[in-house]
Structure 1
Amino acid sequence: MQGKFGEHISVAAEGHVAVITMDRPPHNHVSVEFMRDLANAFEAIDADVELRCSVLQAQGKNFCAGADLVRRETEGGLGAVNPLYDEAVRLFSAQKPIVAAVQGAAVGAGLGLAVMADFRIASPDAKFAANFVKLGFHPGFGLTHTLPRLVGPTKAELMCLTGRRVKAEEGLPWGLVDEVVPLEALRGAALRLAQEIAENAPLAIVSTRKTMRCDLAAAVRAQTDIEAKEQGWLRDTEDYKEGVRSVAERRVGNFVGR
């Protein structure tokens, strides 16, 4: 299997492993179209009986810096977030295991993408952040469900309430990261783990993963409905407007609680 899905997503096969590359320079910002193309790629991989596992990797400095809220607000508003989350739920419906190769920033929706994967191999410069509160906003992408499931409720709350960036080495004992390797070895390490999975019986891989993930897509669907509701009213606050400005200006927000 080899091909393009939209403008920014490509897929190539390495034996029984699909290598998905996100290429939307410079930061791989997500959009509804970007997410739809990515979900379409995963559905195509599920339909290919020769493929048993995927590597999700990115071109450029950052794995994914999330949605470009600053640009979108400047251009006339965020608009509905539900279509983006509809596509996110499709990602969680993928049947085959996913190994993410993370370099640079995995922020906001980029963190959501990294957490969506079964495993995360990271380079030392990787940083993971749920920075929504710095924008005066509520977390999305199902992170209020998936992040506690991965790192535990206390660490997830710490990330979501501080908005701090967690470096790869710090995230290793949390379970946020499974392995830290030099940047030049990142893609090779992710591919090796995917190949180790893919050498096993394909039906058993899918069956075991389905049991262990416990209908994660349905749980994320329910949680994104809650998240979207909270984001809806927060988007109309003065603090959200100040948060977008402060992030664009690289300063601490002057929030007023309204």
Structure 2
Amino acid sequence: MQDQFGDHVRVAKDGNVAVVTIDRPPHNHVTVDFMRDLADAFDAIDAEVELRCTVLQAEGKNFCAGADLVAREDAGGLGAVNPLYDQAVRLFSAQKPIVAAVQGAAVGAGLGLAVMADFRVASPEARFAANFVKLGFHPGFGLTHTLPRLIGHSRAQLMFLTARRVKAEEGLPWGLVDEVVPLEELRPAALRLAREIAENAPLALVSTRKTLRGDLAAAVRAQTDIEAKEQGWLRATEDYKEGVKSVSERRPGNFVGR
């Protein structure tokens, strides 16, 4: 298995654990190409018999700050949501357990990436946000399916409709976070959990996870089709343009409902 996938994803082995590192400075924004490279990495891990669990971690201050809203659409920003979601569905098709190590912001698509994992170990500085309505936009990345499934409908609705940032400690009793550790202990703690999982029989791990996740990949595929349709018409509104501008300027949006 190669250890580099594209320019921003690398994979290392630690015994029976694969360690996938995202390194797309400064904020690990998602693009179609980046998501494709990440999905390719997970496919390669699935093909390696000795690898039984994966740690997903990120360099820098933030885990993943979502899509780069100021990027040109032809550079892989939100102008390409359907291809982006095609790659996201590939992530949900990964066969082996995934432990995400989350620091800083996990926002928008970054939240989707964190929720895609089976477990989330977070530092106190971690912030989870579904900030789509603040942008005049509809949630994506399958989050309208995966987030309620994880933390319940009411709490997911609270996150979606307020766009508030949920701190790691607040997300712990919700099930959004599985463990909170100091930043300097984040990667060791995530690796420790992955090693605990990887001690077990690999075929049984894959089989049990498949039963528990059910048709999750298919459900996310169907949900992203709905999300992309809603995002399509909302992107043409004045409120979306104002939302992107206001977020970039760090101020409340002056929305008009058109």
Question: What band does the TM-score fall into relative to the shorter chain?
Answer: over 0.9
Cα separation, 1, equivalents of 2:75 and 2:177 = 35
Matching of residues 31-180 of structure 1 within 5 Å: 31-72=31-72, 78-180=78-180
CA contact (8 A) 1:142 1:221 kept: yes
Q: Unaligned regions of 5+ residues in structure 1, if any? A: none
Cα separation, 2, equivalents of 1:182 and 1:75 = 36
Q: Deviations over 1:221-240 (max 9, x none)?
A: 00000000000000000000
Structure 1 residue 76, shift from structure 2 partner: 11
Q: Deviations over 1:25-84 (max 9, x none)?
A: 110000000000000000000000010000000000000000011333698984231000
Cα separation, 1, equivalents of 2:16 and 2:3 = 16
CA contact (8 A) 1:115 1:147 kept: yes
Cα separation, 1, equivalents of 2:255 and 2:131 = 15
Cα separation, 2, equivalents of 1:243 and 1:10 = 34
CA contact (8 A) 1:65 1:109 kept: yes
1:242 equivalent in structure 2: 242
Cα separation, 1, equivalents of 2:132 and 2:216 = 23
Cα separation, 2, equivalents of 1:79 and 1:132 = 15
Change (3 A) 1:92 1:186: same
1:233 equivalent in structure 2: 233
Query: Secondary structure of 2:230's match?
Result: helix
Instruction: Provide runs of 4+ in structure 1 moved above 4 Å.
Output: 73-77
CA contact (8 A) 2:135 2:240 kept: yes
Cα separation, 2, equivalents of 1:62 and 1:36 = 20
Cα separation, 1, equivalents of 2:23 and 2:77 = 25
Cα separation, 2, equivalents of 1:25 and 1:147 = 26
Residue type of the alignment partner of 2:252: V
CA RMSD of aligned residues (A): 1.4
Matching of residues 195-206 of structure 1 within 5 Å: 195-206=195-206
CA contact (8 A) 2:55 2:190 kept: yes
CA contact (8 A) 1:2 1:12 kept: no
TM-score, structure 2 normalization: 0.98
Query: Secondary structure of 1:80's match?
Result: helix
Cα separation, 2, equivalents of 1:243 and 1:128 = 19
Alignment partner of 1:184 is 2:179: no
> Number of matched residues?
258
Cα separation, 1, equivalents of 2:126 and 2:159 = 15
Query: Secondary structure of 1:63's match?
Result: coil
Q: Unaligned regions of 5+ residues in structure 2, if any? A: none
CA contact (8 A) 1:9 1:20 kept: yes
Residue type of the alignment partner of 2:182: P
* Percent identity of paired positions between Structure 1 and Structure 2: 84
Cα separation, 2, equivalents of 1:212 and 1:7 = 33
CA contact (8 A) 1:2 1:13 kept: no
TM-score, structure 1 normalization: 0.98
Query: Secondary structure of 1:51's match?
Result: coil
Structure 1 residue 147, shift from structure 2 partner: 0.1
Cα separation, 2, equivalents of 1:54 and 1:61 = 21
1:213 equivalent in structure 2: 213
Change (3 A) 1:73 1:238: farther
Change (3 A) 1:75 1:47: closer
